[in-house]
């Protein structure tokens, strides 16, 4: 059996789990997608987005976003824990010994380390939108003993944004939801930049709202 046949079988399995089990299946697949990168969220989430259409749709866009984020956060903690429990040399040993079964390599780990070193903790947010990196980026966070609250927040927001974008794209395309994966493969860098800009805009808007609210409270207090 060729590698492409194996990947197709994995994708077919993931799709059947989502369609048959609903939200629990989606959460399970998104957890496994973070631990086992050959399961691509670029296929899973657009499919779920398509399934939000119709009067008796099994999913809602909000539900897919939240469940996708929860499953992804749970998967991220698997690798975060790996970084906490093992040092870098042991992580490398595990990747050399077992990485091929998860389609992960030391080279992928080196990229994750480089990104974490260059962009600090913020990479936990936008790294969720990059294949392979979104799984392994949690390991350097664990190695660095990154604050678990900040890790959880960055991971949750990043995965929720990614889940929403892919699910919304699948909803827009309807029965052509599978084209989302092809588009991301072709324009991956553009998609990453667009999502990061959207995330920065969201944080900026929330910060502006908080400052505005605080200003009103100070004004009331002074009067």
Give the span between the Cα atoms of 116 and 80, in whole angstroms.
13
* Burial call 72-104: b when 16+ CB within 10 Å, e when fewer: bbbbbbbbbebbbebeeeebeebbeeebeebeb
Separation CA 14–CA 30 (nearest Å): 9
**What does pLDDT average to over the chain?**
78
Tell me the mean pLDDT in the region 77-97.
Answer: 86
- CA–chain centroid gap for 28, Å, is 14
Percent of the chain past pLDDT 70, that is, above it, reads: 76
Q: Is the pLDDT of residue 209 over 60?
A: yes
Averaged pLDDT for residues 171-182:
80
In 36-187, which ranges are continuous DSSP H helix? 41-50, 61-85, 88-98, 106-119, 123-126, 133-136, 138-143, 148-173, 179-186
Residues 123, 116 contacting (CB under 8 angstroms) = yes
Does pLDDT of 181 surpass 80? no
Mean pLDDT across the stretch 96-113? Answer: 80
* pLDDT score recorded for residue 1: 47
pLDDT number for residue 121: 77
Give per-residue pLDDT as tens, 124-155.
Answer: 887 777 766 777 888 888 888 888 998 999 88
pLDDT over threshold 70, residue 215: no
% of the chain exceeding 90 in pLDDT: 6
Of 49, 5, 6, residue with least CA distance to 26? 49
Residue 188, pLDDT score: 57
Task: Write down the pLDDT at residue 65.
Answer: 92
Better-predicted residue by pLDDT, 74 or 180 = 74
Specify the long-range contacts of residues 193-200, CB closer than 8 Å, at least 24 apart. 195/126, 195/129, 195/161, 195/162, 195/165, 196/126, 196/129, 198/161, 198/165, 199/125, 199/126, 199/157, 199/158, 199/161
Mean pLDDT of all residues in 77-82: 88
Rg (CA), the chain: 19
Q: What integer pLDDT is reported at residue 194 of this predicted model?
A: 61
Tell me the per-residue pLDDT of 60-74, one tens digit each, with 9 for 90 and over.
Answer: 999 999 999 999 899
Tokens representing 168 are: 């919304």
pLDDT per residue over 183-203, tens digit each?
666 655 565 566 566 656 655
> Could you tell me the two tokens for 85?
């429990």
């Amino acid at each position: 059996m060729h590698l492409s046949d194996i990947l197709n079988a994995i994708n077919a399995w993931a799709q059947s789990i989502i369609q048959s089990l609903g939200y629990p299946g989606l959460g399970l697949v998104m957890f496994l997608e973070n631990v086992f990168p050959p399961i691509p969220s670029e296929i899973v989430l657009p499919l779920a987005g398509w399934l939000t259409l119709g009067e008796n749709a099994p999913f809602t866009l909000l539900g897919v976003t939240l469940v996708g984020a929860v499953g992804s956060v749970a998967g991220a903690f698997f690798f975060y824990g790996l970084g906490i429990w093992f040092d870098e040399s042991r992580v490398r040993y595990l990747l050399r010994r077992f990485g091929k079964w998860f389609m992960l390599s030391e080279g992928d780990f080196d990229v994750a380390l480089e990104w974490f070193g260059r962009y600090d903790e913020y990479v936990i947010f936008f790294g969720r939108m990059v294949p392979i990196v979104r799984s392994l980026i949690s390991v350097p966070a664990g190695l660095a003993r990154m604050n678990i609250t900040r890790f959880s927040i960055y991971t949750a927001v990043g995965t929720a944004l990614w889940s929403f974008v892919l699910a919304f794209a699948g909803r827009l395309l309807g029965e052509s939801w599978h084209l989302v994966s092809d588009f991301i493969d072709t324009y991956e860098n553009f998609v990453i930049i667009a999502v990061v800009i959207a995330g920065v805009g969201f944080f900026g808007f929330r910060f502006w709202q908080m400052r505005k609210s605080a200003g009103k409270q100070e004004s009331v207090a002074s009067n």
